Each structure stands twice: as C-alpha cells, then as structure tokens.
C-alpha cells in the first residue's frame, strides 16, 4: 500500500511542479490560476498529513484513513488532467491516445480492485463466517438441551473463549444474546480470554450497570503501558466453546486444540490463509484459473467441549 501511495504522491507532485512551470513559461497572470487554488490546498493538506505521520517511527495504514477522500480527489484530478497535459506537450492530435491511456488505467485499476477484494474474502473471511455459523448452531434448541446446559439455571451464560485469535473477534454483536432451550430457559453467550503467547493488555467488558452510570465508572485493572493483566484470563476448563486457528506452530499456551479429540469437537469451521507460509503475490490478489499450491490454509474452528 505504501509504495502505491508514494507513487501517487510522486505523480501528483510532478503535476503541481508542471503547473508551476507553465505559470512561468506561459506568463499567465496569477488571476488565471485562481481556479486551481482549491486543488492546491487539497494537495498541501495531504502533503502535510503525510509529512507528519510518515515521520513517526511506528507507521500503520490506518493513519491514512482521514485523508483517503483527499487521495481519491487528487487521483481523479490527475486522471482528468492527463489528456490535456499530454495534448499540450505532444500536440492536439495525441489527445485520443492520452484519453485511451486514462481509460486503460481505470480498467486496470478496477481489475486489480476486484482481484484484491476477492482475495481478501477468500483468504480472511473465516472469522465472520464461523461466528455466523455459531449463531445458526446455537439457534437449534437440541444443542441447548444437552445435559451440561440443561442443569444450569435460567439466564445462565454460555462461555465462548478465545486465545491467540482474540484480535480477530469482530464484535459482541456477533454473539447470540436471546437463546432458549426447548423448555424456555433463557441463555446468552459471553466472551472470555484464555492465556496465549500474547502478553499485552486485553480488552475488558463494560461494567454491568445502568445508564448513565456505566459511562461514568472508572474501569479497574487497567494500565497505559500495555502490560499484561492476569485477571483477564479464565481457565480453559471453564470454556463451553473455543475459537482457534490450526497452524503448524504450537506452543504450551497455544496447542492445537482441534487435535484434542477427547476434549473438543469442531462444530463450525472454515479455511483461513496462513500468510507467513503463502506467496505474497498470490495471497494479495485473486488470480483466476491458477492453482492454490502457493497458498497455505489452516482451519478456523469453533470447538465445542465434549460431554
């Protein structure tokens, strides 16, 4: 992403420089160029943002989110200016060529965008799909009629645990909250964390309080140093369900739970790309009619504890 943005920035810079050269060579008055001031201000705003955030030691693509619209506007202005600038440099007869070049760039961009979107869905849609399947699985009353759930009182929680996959949890909106068994006993799902190789500060649920008190309560067991807080963890033995991704690498705190057949069974699973073991080009773009031998997938599971 960053090389592409650098390329766009370089092209835009050259166009601005070219306009400045035109001001000098053609000798037009500054009043003529007033109509281009909005574009110049947009360019300078983007330039300032890039200078500030690219100078930081820690860089992430999300830092560019506020200026995505500016990038889109400048890209449109650039494409619109190419035929006119090309005709100005190489003659009016070449305008059709430059217009065709712009059309080709747009088609190429659309193809790359569709390929990228298809690759993202193929490679990384598993977390959303398994949580959707988890909702459908728990919607069956027979599941909640199992003895280990049936002995619990009305309103009891079903515990879904995450370990190393905690950061791919989409949202609590994906957790069923209005479930009932065949006897009408209500159930809901709560998220809990088990110990993994991650050693930072994990999220903490909001306190069970009414509004507006919950928005005023100061959370406890927090820190501003991203230090691990052991109170976040629960025992894996307390988990009714467990989310895990099968990978070749295992540790004492990140075993392959799906292979523990005496304890767990997979109720929902979808394949998920292991990016570190896959070809960078083939994982970034979907290329039709090509084998997936260059890609390595693992199974993304929601596991249920056996009786």
Please check whether residues 159 and 20 belong to one and the same domain: no
pTM of the complete model: 0.80
Overall average pLDDT of the 20-49 stretch: 74
What's the total number of domains in the chain?
Answer: 2
Residues 106, 138 within the same domain: no
Same domain membership, residue 240 and residue 138: yes
Residue 10 pLDDT? 60
**pLDDT, position 1:** 47
Residues 14 and 82 in one domain: yes
Q: Do 89 and 199 belong to one domain?
A: no
Domain that holds residue 214: 126-305
The string of pLDDT tens digits covering residues 126-185 is 999 999 999 999 988 889 999 888 888 988 999 999 999 999 999 999 998 888 888 888
| Cα–Cα dist 53/270, whole Å | 37
| 132 and 185, same domain (yes or no) | yes
Domain end marker among 82, 102, 123: 123
Per the model's pLDDT, the better-predicted residue between 170 and 27 turns out to be: 170
CA distance 20 to 18: 5
Domain end (from 123, 152, 181): 123
Higher pLDDT, 113 or 57: 113
**What pLDDT is attached to residue 290?**
82
Q: How far apart are CA 276 and CA 119, in angstroms?
A: 16
pLDDT of amino acid 178: 85
Residue 70 shares a structural domain with residue 104: yes
Residues 149 and 264 in one domain: yes
Portion of the chain with pLDDT greater than 90, in percent: 52
In a shared domain, residues 89 and 183 = no
Q: In whole angstroms, what is the distance from residue 9 CA to residue 3 CA?
A: 10
Q: What is the dihedral of CA 241, 127, 2, 15, to 10 degrees?
A: -150
Do 113 and 132 sit in the same domain of this protein?
A: no
pLDDT of residue 216: 86
Tell me what pLDDT residue 307 has.
Answer: 75
Last residue of a domain, one of 123, 139, 155: 123
Pairing verdict, β 241-245 and 264-273: unpaired
Shared domain check, 13 and 112 = yes
Same domain, 223 and 99: no
Give residue 7's pLDDT. 56
CA 215 – CA 140 distance, rounded (Å): 36
């Amino acid at each position: 992403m960053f090389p592409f943005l650098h390329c766009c920035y370089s092209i835009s810079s050259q166009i601005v420089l070219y306009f400045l050269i035109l001001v000098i060579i053609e000798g037009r008055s500054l009043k003529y160029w007033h109509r281009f001031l909005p574009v110049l201000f947009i360019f300078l705003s983007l330039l300032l943002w890039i200078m500030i955030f690219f100078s930081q030691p820690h860089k992430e693509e999300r830092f560019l989110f506020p200026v995505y619209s500016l990038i889109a506007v400048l890209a449109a202005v650039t494409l619109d200016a190419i035929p006119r600038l090309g005709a100005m440099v190489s003659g009016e007869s070449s305008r059709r060529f430059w217009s065709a070049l712009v059309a080709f760039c747009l088609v190429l961009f659309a193809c790359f965008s569709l390929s990228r979107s298809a690759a993202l869905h193929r490679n990384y849609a598993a977390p959303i799909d398994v949580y959707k399947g988890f909702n459908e699985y728990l919607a069956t009353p027979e599941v909640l009629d199992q003895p280990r759930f049936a002995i619990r009182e009305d309103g009891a929680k079903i515990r879904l645990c995450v370990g190393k996959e905690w950061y791919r949890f989409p949202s609590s909106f994906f957790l069923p909250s209005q479930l009932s068994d065949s006897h009408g006993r209500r159930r809901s799902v709560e998220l809990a964390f088990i110990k993994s190789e991650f050693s930072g500060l994990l999220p903490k649920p909001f306190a069970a309080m009414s509004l507006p008190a919950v928005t005023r309560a100061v959370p406890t067991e927090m820190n501003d140093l991203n230090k691990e807080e052991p109170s976040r963890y629960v025992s894996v033995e307390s988990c009714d369900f467990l989310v895990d991704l099968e990978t070749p690498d295992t540790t004492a705190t990140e075993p392959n739970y799906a292979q523990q057949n005496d304890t767990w069974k997979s109720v929902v699973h979808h394949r998920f790309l292991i990016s570190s073991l896959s070809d960078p080009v083939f994982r970034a773009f979907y290329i039709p009619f090509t084998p997936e031998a260059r890609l390595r997938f693992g199974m993304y599971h929601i596991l249920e504890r056996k009786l």
